[in-house]
Structure 1
Amino acid sequence: MHSSELEPAHQQECCCLVPSGCSKTLMARPVASEAGLNFLAVKCPELFSKWVDESEKAVRSLFAKARANAPSVIFFDEIDNLVVIRGKESDGVSVADRVMSQLLVELDGLHGRVNVTVIAATNRPDKIDPALLRPGWFDRLLYVGPPSETDRVDVFHVHLRKMPCGFDVDVSELAHLTEGCTGADISSICREAAISAIEENLNCSEVKMEH
């Protein structure tokens, strides 16, 4: 992706639908890096406040900061915590409803949102208000599934490169045996293998295939 692709006339928002553990957060930062843009990462639960109007103010401040540092990318992690389906509260307008409305205002560009691209990630698309997914706001939905066998080989190499492994450790075989595993699962497998080796022998010098 190049910065020219993010001009206002062609600007699109993107929502990545990613199963848990598939590195949705890690994929967002290279988008800004490749395009040479400033990157603002937000964990959506952190935007909520118990004080009246503070949550909406946090959203306004975020977009103001993005405009001040344009061209920029705003990345909403776990956006399902921020844009839940409206109208579920029976005691008036909830904080979540107000935050959702403020976000829609900002995405609608009423305050001159120029050279600001928004990316969001979620593993619970069923919790997102349908209004946010209509054309004009989040125009593009991308599903990122678990890594393929070839990708799992690369992921194993990443997690094993600093781990002393025996000559019998076959990364290709490990990738074949871990069909359906996510990057987080593979990280856990490598970590547990190291623990297993230590439990077997505190003085062990390498992790073997059996571990």
Structure 2
Amino acid sequence: FRKTLLAKAVAGETNATFISTVGSELVQKFIGEGARIVRELFDLAREKAPSIIFIDEIDAIGAKRMDVGTSGEREVQRTFMQLISEMDGFDPLDDVKVLAATNRIDILDPALLRPGRFDRIIHIDYPSLEDRVEIFKVHTKRVNLHSSVDLHKLAEETEGTTGAEIRHIVIEAGLSAIRRGSKIVEKEDFENAIKTVLTSKAGKTNAYALFV
């Protein structure tokens, strides 16, 4: 969420066409499909230039691989090599810029981070307490909240969460209220939602934006 907003902001500031994809969408089951999608992505970006290509979760295709013995791993490798080829290719990128994002920079193939590829890295920290309060306000604007709900306390309890995760918490809390047969979301609904989201979050690391 934070990474995508940053990429969109860059595109907006430069009046560039914003073309977004997710690394997992480039992982295809059929031979050559992933590489074809990457080629078409860059062809579209050149056609719409000035443009920015944003690849979220690039670790899905750009992680270090010790074994490419399976057909699935070989297909991911083909897709990865096509991405490298497009970034290094004979056709200059000119007015096409490539941004990527990952929560797992530690597992990226070093080939991605070489000069001329993704050689500028920005660490994107989690929202501050004040930021989280504001994010809760945005996502609860149309929610019927019980008087027991204190957004500041919820923000304190959600240190280390992203804007997308806070949105997920609000949705989960609403579903909890529905399951109770209530149209009003109470403190207990949020407490259950926070537990659910933070449990699924376990093991995740900070986010990074990569710029070529």
**Structure 1 length-normalised TM:** 0.75
Task: Give yes or no for the alignment of 1:63 onto 2:48.
Answer: no
In 1, are the aligned partners of 2:2 and 2:124 still within 8 Å (CA)? no
Structure 1 residues 53 and 180: alpha-carbon distance in aligned structure 2, compared to 1, 3 A threshold: closer
Distance (Å, rounded) in 1 between the aligned partners of 2:4 and 2:33: 26
Q: What is residue 207 of structure 1 aligned with on the other side? A: 185
Q: Offset at 1:108?
A: 1.8
Answer 1 or 2: higher relative contact order, Cα 8 Å, separation at least 6: 1
Q: 1:57 and 1:195, CA in 2 relative to 1: closer, same or farther beyond 3 A?
A: closer
Question: Do the aligned residues in 2 keep the contact of 1:87 with 1:97 (CA within 8 Å)?
Answer: no
| Greater shift in the superposed pair: 60-69 or 82-91 | 82-91
The separation in 2 between residues aligned to 1:44 and 1:96, in whole angstroms, is: 10
> Equivalent residue for 1:25?
4
Q: Which residue number corresponds to residue 110 of structure 1?
A: 90
The letter of the residue matching 2:76 is A
Q: Distance in 1 between matches of 2:137 and 2:150?
A: 11
* TM-score normalised by structure 2 residue count: 0.75
Alpha carbons of 1:130 and 1:166: their partners in 2 closer, same or farther (altered >3 Å)?
same
Per-residue deviation, residues 148-197 of structure 1 (Å, max 9, x unmatched): 10110111011110112245543223222322233243223323433444
Q: CA deviation at 1:60?
A: 1.8
Q: 1:45 to 1:200 in 2, by over 3 A?
A: closer
2:153 is matched with 173
The aligned counterpart of 1:43 is 22
Contact 1:43 1:76 in 2 (8 A): yes
User: In 2 relative to 1, CA 154–61 (structure 1 residues): closer, same or farther, beyond 3 Å?
Assistant: same
8 A Cα contact 2:61 2:77, kept in partner? no
User: Is contact 1:84-1:96 (8 Å) kept?
Assistant: no
Does structure 1 retain, via aligned residues, the 8 Å contact 2:59–2:107? yes
| CA-to-aligned-CA distance 1:12-54 (integer Å, 9 cap, x gap) | xxxxxxxxxx543344223212321101111223234444433
Output the aligned Cα RMSD: 2.7
CA distance in structure 1 between the aligned counterparts of 2:42 and 2:19, rounded to whole angstroms: 10
Q: Distance in 2 between matches of 1:130 and 1:51?
A: 26
Identity %: 43
Paired residue type of 1:122: T
Contact 2:129–2:159 (CA<8 Å) still a contact in 1? yes
Q: Secondary structure of 2:43's partner?
A: helix
Q: CA deviation at 1:80?
A: 0.9
Which one has the largest radius of gyration? 1
- Tell me if 1:77 matches 2:56: yes
C-alpha contact (below 8 Å) 1:38/1:72 kept by paired residues: yes
Q: How does 1:119-138 map to 2 (within 5 A)?
A: 119-138=99-118
